[in-house]
Structure 1
């Protein structure tokens, strides 16, 4: 395999047109330059320089053809070295960002990705939509670096948790529903309705919201239609199958046959949190911190945030 030192000796001799000057440039002796050049020629199996008068450096025909290749190889090696250093320093490499749909609707995920691309241009960012429980698992086993999620009962060891956005809960109902033209409604008016919510294999999330609405409205816990995500919930609500509590940011979706209503006597908020893996490289952590400090809705971590999916 060709050695970088030998390639550097060859290029330096050609560019300096003198062995002594090439040695000074490389920080070695003239004899070392000569030996490196000889070793390169031995490896290639031919002469690169004409051994004539010492006052003049002349390339052979083969040396003339090899010179641009040598320069290219050295440039690629230097670029690889610089990129490798950036990877080890956390300024390059792959960054995996997970997000729930609400992080798109609030604009927070696009803002963060744009900020990171501007401040860490050598970092390759891969963003993937993923529900909150799956993001937690991915961060815990090293498959995800940053996640936008709804608060969970527990987080991966060493992870940093930041509440970055809070929003009201709205009720998505079919435009044919008796509720559709009432504007804000009270919890008691929801007594006879089924609730459609994203629900995972855990007793957290919007089931807590439904329980609170039932307590305020003074009616038993209603029937629940579980779904995989909020879009499905809204679609089923539009079909008249029930009502769907959703984050207020989703009201920006112009979906057919749906109305979004406020709940006049329910004022608890849904939080969106940012989770940073424990081993997040320092340059990335610093860039994320700078973004968080400028985020419009930045707030300290809530003591008892409402946990909810998507």
Structure 2
């Protein structure tokens, strides 16, 4: 069976051939077209003849005194313009992607990040600078965020350290918040100003469902140790909204980030704590090596963002 040979590389046209032909058709004059293209007129003539040789049909009607396209030339002109526009669009798209201006970023966060305002400020300012990047947000427990980031199933996370990290994940603290104590509003100390943790030594503390060395469970024990007491931790809450509700019905008290006072549940009072310097840290988490330009841009944005430190007045 006889094999039909395909076109030789030398017989295929290039983008520049299309551009030469379009400019010539627009100028309808070899001299003006050559000047616009920045090439010599004989060189332009040779390239147009080469193009005609490649497509195997005349594109210019050379029987006329004035330059005129053949019917095939008119068809080719329309298609050449489409191809050049598509090539330009592709170039713009790949350039924007390489600069991190397009793409998709999956972002996990713990709910308390939203209370602190960090999430909304971060997303709003990034979207303003990168309007074509798609952001996917999902509230997620801290440990699951870190696992998914490590496995490549999540790009970025907002978490509350301390917590163990997978080997390929790094964090950076972007905000430190002071701690306040959440009390039932009928508690004897709820109507006072700042309180001493030592006065709460006989109370039961409610913390999130975490390991002893993780997140707010660790913050609670550290703050109490700083105040010279050993906390009794019994009730466990799924999240801070649940914890605040548990405080309201008298199941215990809780140390929470200052920003949680925006969660005005009935039956709960938030009071400042005297004499401790333990804080709640808010951090970003991401892979050590990141291939996506969009994700790298989001990492840079959050590493350099100005999140004001929590006031201590």
Shorter-chain TM-score range: 0.7 to 0.9
CA positional deviation for 1:260? 0.8
Question: Does structure 2 conserve the Cα–Cα contact (< 8 Å) formed by 1:50 and 1:60?
Answer: no
Task: Between 120-129 and 53-62, report the one with greater CA deviation.
Answer: 53-62
Q: Which residue of 2 aligns with 1:130?
A: 140
* CA shift in 2, pair 1:212/1:287, >3 Å: closer
Contact 2:219 2:280 in 1 (8 A): no
Q: Give the alignment's Cα RMSD to 1 decimal.
A: 3.9
Alpha-carbon distance, 1:114 to partner: 3.4
Match of residue 76 from structure 1: 86
Contact 2:155/2:295, CA 8 A, preserved across alignment: no
SS of corresponding position for 1:163: strand
Task: Provide the C-alpha distance between the structure 2 equivalents of 1:68 and 1:238, rounded to a whole number of angstroms.
Answer: 72
Which consecutive unaligned segments of at least 5 residues does structure 2 have?
Answer: 1-11
Does residue 200 of structure 2 align to residue 190 of structure 1?
Answer: yes
Kept in 2, the 8 Å contact 1:41–1:48? The answer is no
Mark the structure with the bigger radius of gyration: 2
Return the match for 1:30 from 39, 45, 58.
45
| Contact 2:173–2:281 (8 Å) recurs in 1 | yes
Q: Say if 1:186 and 1:264, in contact at 8 Å, map to a contact too.
A: yes
- Does the CA contact (< 8 Å) of 2:219 and 2:279 recur in 1? no
Separation in 2 of the partners of 1:133 and 1:70? 54
In the alignment, does 2:165 pair up with 1:155?
A: yes
SS of residue in 1 equivalent to 2:250: coil
- The counterpart of 1:277, out of the listed 283, 287, 290, is 287
SS at match of 1:173: strand
- Do the aligned residues in 2 keep the contact of 1:10 with 1:37 (CA within 8 Å)? no
Go from structure 1 to structure 2 and tell me whether the alpha carbon gap of 1:118 and 1:210 turns closer, same or farther (over 3 Å shift).
closer
* Partner Cα separation in structure 1 for residue 240 and residue 70 of structure 2: 70
TM-score, normalising length: structure 2:
0.73
The alignment status of 1:17 with 2:28, answered yes or no, reads yes
Deviation, structure 1 residue 243: 1.8
Equivalent of 1:55, from 66, 78, 84? 66
Alpha-carbon shift at residue 23 of structure 1 (Å): 6.8
Hey, what's the Cα distance between the residues in 1 that align with 2:250 and 2:59? 82
Aligned length: 293
CA displacement at 1:156 relative to structure 2: 4.1
1:1-310 alignment, distance < 5 Å: 5=15, 7-8=18-19, 10-18=21-29, 25=37, 29-36=44-51, 52-53=63-64, 55-58=66-69, 60=71, 63=74, 70-157=80-167, 159-200=169-210, 203-212=213-222, 215=225, 221-280=231-290, 285=296, 289=300, 292-293=303-304, 295-297=306-308
Contact 1:23-1:33 at 8 Å conserved across structures: no
CA gap 1:238/1:38 in 2 versus in 1, 3 angstroms: farther
Find the aligned partners of 1:252 and 1:54 in 2 and give their Cα distance: 82
> SS at 2:195's partner residue?
coil
The whole-number CA distance in structure 2 between the counterparts of 1:3 and 1:245 is 71
C-alpha distance in 2, partners of 1:284/1:298?
Answer: 25
**Residues 190 and 269 in structure 2, CA contact (< 8 A), matched pair in contact too:** yes
